[in-house]
Amino acid sequence: MTRPWTAEYEVSPLQARRLIAGQFPALTPVEVEPFGAGWDNTAYLVNRAYVFRFPRRPAGAACLAAEVRVLPGFASTLPWPITVPTLIGQPEEDFPWPFAGYRMLPGRPACQAVLDDAQRFRAARPLAHFLAALHSIGADRAERLGAGGDDIGRLDIGKRTALAGEHLRRLGEFGLIADVTPWLDVVDEVLAEYPDLSLGSEDNPWPRATRVLVHGDLYARHVLVDRAGLPCGVIDWGDVHLGHPAVDLAIAHTFLPGRARDEFCAAYGPISSQTWRLARLRAVYHTAMLVLYGCDIDDQHLVREGLTSLHHIVAV
């Protein structure tokens, strides 16, 4: 399996300190602590107050540019704080891309909190309200904010169903899932609805009327929770784009136990059956991939949360 999360370039703590001190002298003396790494960025906590993110590949630089361009225009309209970059660093001779910093938000990633079903149930309505506010930003406003389209086909039916099957089979081979049939049934349900595999592909995007501003990569690692386990912020907006709401609504199938979904839907507002099925497909594909990612980088929090999410997707 290819590993798209492998860095092409990784900034060291010493290099991060030099770049930040040179471009933001008000932060000197710069204290740098490793703060994590994702597919696209390496993050450092600076002076215990700011998080600086440095791209790990050209695609990561494009994602960071989207955050810088789009987030300031709507952050204040959302019910929770989000990570809006305010300190924008420029490329230098030994680092080829812009980098950015923002004030650290309170809370911790939900995947680290070991939430029980009761806590997840209480999160359903706040999570729905947050997404309803975000998705109220339609195509015209999203484009004025500078949001681009879905250029990697997150709901390309043919591509994503094939990858879902591949990821699930690998999870079975690793012994993480005893029987992949329930998740393959979800995939087959969507394939039956779109036998020509054209609707939703990169060449045939979803109708403009169905597209809204979406986070694009919303799962438990990117949702912050407070000490009580309630959501209190959303981070890592590099995938923000003008796309189909099902991309974000997948979190209702993964993060929430089955009995919480009626609460979520009541708070979010009407969701078509087609959108709900597409969100479930996205949940299967994306979560299976995240479990493989967590295994590869030895992130046991992510593996545990991913397996919990897979159970939620098919639980009756």
Question: Residue 289's closest CA among 201, 114, 171?
Answer: 171
In this structure, are 94 and 123 located in the same domain?
no
Q: Give residue 216's region: left, alpha or beta (phi > 0; psi -120 to 50).
A: left
**pLDDT tens across the length of the chain (316 residues):** 567 777 888 999 999 999 999 999 999 999 999 999 888 999 999 999 999 999 999 999 999 999 999 999 999 999 999 999 999 999 999 999 999 999 999 999 999 999 999 999 999 999 999 999 999 999 999 999 999 999 898 988 888 889 999 999 999 999 999 999 999 999 998 888 876 554 444 444 577 778 999 999 999 999 999 999 999 999 999 999 999 999 999 999 999 999 999 999 999 999 999 999 999 999 999 999 999 999 999 999 999 999 999 999 998 6
Q: Is residue 6 domain-resident?
A: no
The enclosing domain of 123 has a CATH number of 1.10.510.10
In this structure, are 180 and 144 located in the same domain?
yes
The Cα-based distances of 170 to 71, 72, 176, 287 in angstroms read: 36, 40, 9, 13
DSSP summary character for residue 28: P
The enclosing domain of 83 has a CATH number of 3.30.200.20
> Model's pTM, two decimal places?
0.94
Q: Is residue 3 domain-resident?
A: no
In this structure, are 94 and 162 located in the same domain?
no
- Residue 209's domain comprises 108-314
Q: Three-state secondary structure along 185-219? A: HHHHHHHHHCCCCCCCCCCCCCCHHHCEEECCCCC
Output the DSSP codes for 51-65.
EEEEESSHHHHHHHH
> Tokens 């500078």 map to which residue?
146
Backbone angles phi, psi at 153, to 5 degrees: 65, 55
Q: Is residue 30 domain-resident?
A: yes
Q: Is residue 304 domain-resident?
A: yes
In this structure, are 82 and 180 located in the same domain?
no
Structural domain count of the chain:
2
In this structure, are 135 and 171 located in the same domain?
yes
Distance (Å, rounded) from C-alpha 228 to C-alpha 235?
19
Q: Is residue 308 domain-resident?
A: yes
In this structure, are 43 and 160 located in the same domain?
no
Backbone angles phi, psi at 194, to 5 degrees: -125, 70
